[in-house]
Amino acid sequence: MGEPVILDGRKVAQAIREDVSERASHLKQAKGITPCLATILVGDDPSSATYVKMKGKACEKVGIDSKKVTLPADITQDDLMSTIQSLNDDPAINGILLQHPIPSHLDERAAFEAIDPEKDVDGVTSASFGRTGLGFGQYPSCTPGAIISILDYYDIPLEGKHAVVVGRSPILGKPVSLLLLNRNATVTICHSRTVDVAAKVAEADVVVAAVGKPEFVKGHWIKEGAVVVDAGYNPGNIGDVEYDASYQKASAITPVPGGVGPVTIATLLKQTMESAEKSAGLNKS
């Protein structure tokens, strides 16, 4: 097997950002509207604060405004829900992102569900999940959307291929499985109760690792010529796939970092842009 294609997420993210930037200028010129993403940070968890800051900066670079809403860690559920409601009602806000996780005394699912699906650009509501499953595509959870964008950018065929997804979380494993199914892949979903994950992965034409365990997917499990997408991101910049050994077997592989991660943020920008265009009557899809 020759060298695999490196599925360069930074390149894909750059292409998405350029497109969003152009569309933002067009929307400004045509309608005088600047898209706006509201981010809600509850409490003072440093990693969450960093993620929110990164997302705000990414918006700024492509001509999207961001409104940062910071709430105290001891906020009540009612106050959180009314904050979300007021953002739902604000016509200047096109997207709402509630940074996960929120403090444990709060019901995160209820808070997610309070987001208007038309503004759910992070794809966390059950309405968005249902639409993803039914193939409306508005708006899938960002990491699954990013994975499909990477595969499309590199013209990786999915129809008729056997995709094995390791992980079934509501934000990643399950929705990416639906997106792959919508593309006519035959999908196997593995989880913590799956018997012999290695044997399932060994049959895959496309492997998506979304386990949250460093180097869980071993190189020797990978079928010769398979496409390997590593959504994992563990401390020390380590993915969920054993990279070096998988590199020897794969026909294409995402690096960590620089694979799925950058495209996830770019997808959030793209979906905010789509929401703004839709509310301005430019994009009815």
List contacts with ligand NAP (CB under 6 A).
143, 166-169, 171-173, 190-194, 197, 210-213, 231-234, 240, 260-261, 264
DSSP state of 95: E
- Which residue has the closest beta carbon to ligand NAP? 169
Closest contact distance (angstroms) between CB of 231 and ligand NAP is 4
From 55, 161, 223, 249, active-site residue: 55
- Nearest 5°: the CA angle 268, 127, 168 is 75
Extended beta strands in the chain, E state: 5-6, 36-42, 65-71, 95-98, 162-166, 186-190, 206-209, 227-230, 252-253
From 99, 161, 223, 249, active-site residue: 99
For ligand NAP, the closer of residues 180 and 197 by Cβ is: 197
99 is catalytic: yes
Closest contact distance (angstroms) between CB of 169 and ligand NAP is 3
For ligand NAP, the closer of residues 76 and 237 by Cβ is: 237
For ligand NAP, the closer of residues 80 and 208 by Cβ is: 208
Give the N- to C-terminal CA distance of the chain in Å, as an integer. 42
Place of tokens 């995160």: 108
For ligand NAP, the closer of residues 62 and 93 by Cβ is: 62
> Of 90, 41, 33, 91, whose CA–CA distance to 65 is shortest?
33
> Of 133, 152, 141, 142, whose CA–CA distance to 206 is shortest?
152
Closest contact distance (angstroms) between CB of 16 and ligand NAP is 14
Just list the catalytic residues.
55, 99, 122
